[in-house]
Structure 1
């Protein structure tokens, strides 16, 4: 019998991509509401409580309201908003983050999808923080270059009308992803994070530069790369480039993994100057949103984690 899945907010960018990944699968039965009922609270409540799993693709307040409509203890909710990312009782939906995270997701009924920028940042920092290479008190900075689809409907309309322009944003240094970036990286303080949006639809690069001489053990570039490679050695969707690959990469294209659930890490650096730049490149709508939601759904359903994903 197929699993019954309801995407609340399937008309949005993330919801559409999730639906596209699920609608071809014979193990999934999508519960879909008519246009007239999409915003009807009773219709949505019935759909939520009749589903095996619900994926919320809604603004934060609407996601909180939708989660409150769930009364069925067997219904699993996967939320793609910011609403529950650091909330007690919700499992962080980044399977590759640390030992046991995959199992925690599979056993949970309340899962919060990571933010796209947070996915790249945590992928770079968490393994090194766990090992003490990056101490919890260490000051971290990060930058990103993102496609405009990450900014929602208004930003998409702005860029697709030809009015959008490349720009740094979140200039007050209070980006909404900072709480999860700090918490799940194991840092005592939030990083200084400066994101940039550019004139391409999908793709994301997150960079974390490090002064290696300032770290307690003064690791070299190869040591950093080896530790990250060991952490992700058996992962299907997260990979660390070899030294040869990174040396050959004279540039990194933000959209090289468009429409996939892949995340590639480069470790660039100069041992003479004792500097390194950790770089994560992936699709902000793939591993950064819809792909991650489907990966988490697969874990909850107990099927192959990569089903419906590339």
Structure 2
């Protein structure tokens, strides 16, 4: 049996990644819209309502518009935009958060895929909240550095074409310095935090890959765990999860000398979780492909669950 899939926004960064991942699938039939009719509401509406699964790879307003065009009650939607991540009636597409999350996704009609920064943050924070290791009022601080592909086609063109020799692009660059990054609402809501984390993202001079850093102070934890014990807690929490790899404590096997790069999970749907530190200070690091587990890979993982297929189908761990 072949399932009919429509990617609305097929020519954006996430849409192209999805298209590539699905093209090799013999169990998937992609619904294609005539390129000349991509902005024709009726043609788009017909494609949306003919699918078993619709992927939305669109700006927020366009994603909401697409959902409004769906009249067929059998169509199931996976939204990769920010539009519905904290919306009522939508299931958050992170199967590994807790055991019941996977079942929620399997039965969902509407799934919102997490943001890439939020994926790394949630992988580190949610187990701490679930295990009562940090309280909702813990003053969380997080940083991340991501490849420029996470910002979409316009920035890819800057780095690879129009400004590729510009010295300003050779350095990591901070952004969202007003401290209102678009992933903050889901970071706060999913982890049941009283306040959003103080989050500072950076874009780096490389195409893809991501590190998300979460520093913790032992004296502020609700349970007395040092860095090594916290690593063991994560290992038990994510035991047998195919796409989350908890690395050995203070693991440096994937270092380049004394440096941990952001690209070690590229081309996979894997998230590597590292724990470093000592008796008093702890650093949790999530490493993922911002276009994989941070976007299209996560969307395919959710699709597999929603269609009752092997969750790992078409994905590399």
Superposed pair shares fold, TM > 0.5: yes
- Report the secondary structure of 1:33's partner residue: coil
Q: Tell me the TM-score normalized by structure 2.
A: 0.95
Q: What is the aligned partner in structure 2 of residue 222 from structure 1?
A: 228
Q: Tell me the TM-score normalized by structure 1.
A: 0.97
Distance 1:74 1:159 in 2: 42
Matches within 5 A, 1:116-131: 116-131=116-131
Q: Does 1:204 align with 2:210?
A: yes
Distance 1:110 1:51 in 2: 14
Distance 2:264 2:247 in 1: 14
Q: Does 1:292 align with 2:298?
A: yes
Which segments of 5 or more consecutive residues in structure 1 lack a partner in the other structure? none
Distance 2:134 2:253 in 1: 24
- Report the secondary structure of 1:64's partner residue: helix
**Post-superposition CA distance 1:39-60 (Å, at most 9, x none):** 1111111111110010000000
- Report the secondary structure of 1:253's partner residue: coil
For the Cα contact (< 8 Å) 1:246–1:268, is it kept in 2? Answer: no
- Report the secondary structure of 1:292's partner residue: helix
Q: How many Å apart are 1:152 and its aligned residue?
A: 1.3
Q: How many Å apart are 1:260 and its aligned residue?
A: 0.8
Distance 2:51 2:117 in 1: 30
Matches within 5 A, 1:80-91: 80-91=80-91
**Post-superposition CA distance 1:245-292 (Å, at most 9, x none):** 358843221011111101000000021xx0000000010000000000
Q: Does 1:51 align with 2:51?
A: yes
Q: How many Å apart are 1:37 and its aligned residue?
A: 1.4
Q: What is the aligned partner in structure 1 of residue 42 from structure 2?
A: 42
Which shows bigger deviation, 165-174 or 285-294?
Answer: 165-174
Distance 2:254 2:22 in 1: 37
For the Cα contact (< 8 Å) 2:228–2:278, is it kept in 1? Answer: no
Shift in CA distance, 170/5, structure 1 to aligned 2, threshold 3 Å = same
Q: Which residue of 263, 274, 278 maps to 1:266?
A: 274
Which segments of 5 or more consecutive residues in structure 2 lack a partner in the other structure? none
Q: Does 1:257 align with 2:291?
A: no
RMSD, matched Cα: 1.2
Shift in CA distance, 254/69, structure 1 to aligned 2, threshold 3 Å = same
- Report the secondary structure of 1:46's partner residue: helix
Runs of 4+ in 1 over 6 A off after TM superposition: none
Q: What is the aligned partner in structure 1 of residue 243 from structure 2?
A: 237
Shift in CA distance, 88/9, structure 1 to aligned 2, threshold 3 Å = same
